[in-house]
Amino acid sequence: MSSARLTRILRSASFRLPLLYAVLFILSAAVLFVSVYWTATAAMQNDMAAVLRSEAYQLAEVHRRTGLAGLAEQITRRINFRTRGPIFYLLQAPNRRVVVGNLPGMPPVNGAVDFEPQTDLPEPVDGSGERPKLTGFGLTLPDGSFLLVAQDANRLVDMQRAIIRAFAWSGGLTLLLAIAGGALLGTNFLRRIDTITRTSRAIMEGDLAARIPERGTHDEIDQLVASLNAMLARIQQLMDGLRQVSSDIAHDLRTPLGRLRQHLEDARERATTTADYSAATEAAIEEADALLETFSALLRIAQVEAGAQKSAFAPFDVSALLKSLGETYEPVAEDSHHALEVQVEPGAALTGDRQLIAQLVSNLLENALRHTPEGTKVRLALRRQADGFEIEVADNGPGIPAPEHDKVFDRFYRLDRSRSTSGSGLGLAMVKAIAGLHGLAIRLEDAKPGLRVVLQTAR
């Protein structure tokens, strides 16, 4: 592993986090160690003191009943048979002469005492070779003799050392595992980050279809990758749409620009009177107005898709708006020899831009009136539902072939039979943009005969 990669691993959050947890664990273990060490030491000391005190008072009772000789016999028996485990005894006469015991003589001490024998013991305490440390309990008997019962204090030291070793090994092993686990996690984390980096570079170099692979673990990084891929897909969709719009503008605006240029050339080459120049100018102005209207429509679609109008959203009565639009378009339908039927249930409300919703419904009604023959029946309806409402604009005209249902919402897309009528092919694109801004689902259905455009609040 290179030093640069090792440095990246050591600096990665996935390495530092397990290491931090390991340090916190070791600190917690240190607190636990102090507690265990102190508790175990105190418990063993109390246990040893209780055993020695009990042993000393039992022997004092023997002395009371049998005298010094009987006590000496009892101590000898206990030394020989070790009935009470590794306990040391000392019985001294009042003149400090050692009567019996496996401890050297010493000045009398009453109560608990810790000491080191000044001479070697008759038998080794353990095999460590260290000078033994004893803890004992002494009693001065009624006849002036001295009794001492003692145990090896190194047992306590051995227990303390065992506790220290156990915690040292566990702490060291924990730290080692944390470092190894951190390095492993860091390597894995950096590998995934490198994958994201490579994909980002590929996208920056122009490959908008590149995506970051997911592992299927559904962890935080996988969720982040899924969000990034969704964002990249949206960016690609927007870029494709931008390219498509640019291509559509280049193709669909060539004809009106060509007509505008032709009118101007005709005026320059053929016009000889003021009337000729006026006619050519009027034709050019009409073409320019159509171009300006197209560009204005494109700008409005872009603004709607960007969500700029959301700041003006407010609750309004959709039912009242549709009734008003129905009343407005009834004379228009009569003039074009169509029949407009309005069926609007009251009480439907929506939070949005009232003017944009009015434009959406107006575009649908104008399409139905403009692209269907005379005598066609057009229906504007609103039906309330448990979770919202449904708007329908339907007709019994020629309809739209099913394969064309999705295409008609593209900018500048027009059916072959519609190219003889006025329009830029942006009306339904605006409808789709406004519906998306307000969270309305839009779909086209075959009315058999005719076409149904349905707008429905999201469920």
**pLDDT reported for residue 12:** 60
State how far the Cα of 13 lies from the Cα of 445, in Å rounded to an integer.
Answer: 54
CATH tag, 308-457: 3.30.565.10
d(CA 259, CA 269): 15
Q: What is the residue whose two structure tokens read 């030291």?
A: 157
Contacts of 446 (CB under 8 A, 6+ apart): 399, 402, 452
Q: Cα dist. 166→20, 21, 29, 32, 169 in Å?
A: 22, 20, 11, 12, 5
pLDDT for the residue 381? 92
Judge whether 56 and 24 are in contact, CB under 8 Å. Answer: no
What letter does residue 337 receive in the DSSP assignment? Answer: T
Q: Which of 269, 296, 433 has its CA nearest to residue 356?
A: 433
> What count of Cα atoms within 13 Å lies in the side-chain half-sphere of residue 370?
16
Element (H, E) at 359: helix 354-370
pLDDT of residue 140: 92
Taking each helix axis as running N to C, give the angle between helix 427-437 and helix 274-306, from 0 to 180 degrees, rounded to the nearest 10. Answer: 30
Taking phi over 0 as left and psi of -120 to 50 as alpha, with beta for the rest, 148 belongs to beta
Q: Are strands 146-152 and 134-140 parallel, antiparallel or unpaired?
A: antiparallel
What pLDDT is stored for residue 418 in this prediction? Answer: 46
Place of tokens 């409005």: 300
Burial environment of residue 432 by CB neighbours within 10 A (0 to 12, 13 to 18, 19 or more): buried
* Domain 3-159, second-level architecture: 2-Layer Sandwich (3.30)
Give residue 119's pLDDT: 59
Residues 218 and 13: their CA atoms lie apart, in Å, by 19
Find, among 169, 136, 157, 152, the residue nearest to 37 by Cα.
157
Q: Which two tokens stand for residue 442?
A: 């839009």
Phi (first) and psi of residue 112, to 5 degrees: -70, 145
In whole angstroms, how large is the CA radius of gyration of the chain? 50
What's the whole-model pTM score? 0.49
Say if CB 319 and CB 382 are below 8 A apart: yes
pLDDT value of residue 417 = 46
Q: How far is CA 392 from CA 87, 228, 237, 409, 440, in A?
A: 102, 37, 29, 17, 12
Q: Which residues of the chain have pLDDT under 70?
A: 1-19, 21, 82-85, 118-131, 182, 185-186, 241-242, 244-253, 255, 294-309, 311, 410-425, 459
